Amino acid sequence: MDYILYYIKEGILVEIGVGESAIFMTKAALKYNRKTYHCDIQPIKIEGPKTIPGWFKDDAFLFIGPSDGFFAQVDIPPVAVGIIDGDHTYEQVRKDFFNLLPKVVDNGYIFLHDTYPERKEQLNPNVCGDVYKLRQELEAHPDLDVFTFPNSAWDVGLTMVRKCPENRPRFQKKGITI
């Protein structure tokens, strides 16, 4: 995140599914003077960490409820970095991704967790579910750069998606040669 925020001068940080990533987001937000938005359906995932100094920034926006409600009710400013690690179903993670993507600034990033399970047992909705299907879908998307770290984030994969600028030169587009 340090690299991303150094080069992307605008945008907030968004976390769908509060976890340890909030600690890293908070540190980066403090260093680069950014605001953080966090959403989780489980009140304990937000209320508990609020009691731990440094888990959330003092000005963090905290939403307790489903991500569909978060996107419907919250006016989200431009986003530099988003992390999606809430529901573990393809359908919901896809909705979260495409709800967040229009808010992401050019060259901004969305990270998806649980995208590269090692074993079939990890396809259980309480582990990774079928989020890998979204990774596969996004890899073919012409306006996104997608890279998956297969052995990171608890060994279930972390996919990094960069939103490419709309008006980029032809030689920067996927599948086009000059």
pLDDT digits (tens, 9 = 90+) for 89-144: 999 999 999 999 999 999 999 999 988 777 677 766 766 688 889 999 999 998 89
Residue 155 has a pLDDT of 74
Report the predicted TM-score, pTM, of the whole model to 2 decimal places. 0.91
According to the model, what pLDDT value does residue 93 have?
A: 95
pLDDT value at 177 more than 70: no
SS3 70: helix
Q: Is residue 17 part of a domain?
A: yes
- What's the pLDDT score for residue 77? 98
Is residue 116 a part of any domain in this protein?
A: yes
**pLDDT (mean) for 24-35:** 96
Residue 83 belongs to some domain of the structure? yes
Model pLDDT, residue 171? 73
Taking residue 2's Cβ as centre, other Cβ atoms within 10 Å add up to: 10
Q: CATH number of the domain that 114 lies in? A: 3.40.50.150
pLDDT of amino acid 129: 82
Q: Which pLDDT band, with edges at 50, 70 and 90, does 167 fall under? A: confident
Is 67 within the bounds of a domain? yes
Domain tally for the chain? Answer: 1
DSSP assignment string, 10-62: S-EEEEES-STHHHHHHHHHHHHT--EEEEESSHHHHHHHHTSTTSS-TT-EE
For residue 82, give Cα distances in angstroms to 51, 76, 79, 121, 122.
24, 11, 7, 27, 24
pLDDT tens digits along 37-84: 999 999 999 999 999 998 999 999 999 999 999 999 999 999 999 999
Residue 83 structural domain: 2-172
In a domain, 178, yes or no: no
Residue 115 counted as domain residue = yes
- Position 177 in a domain: no
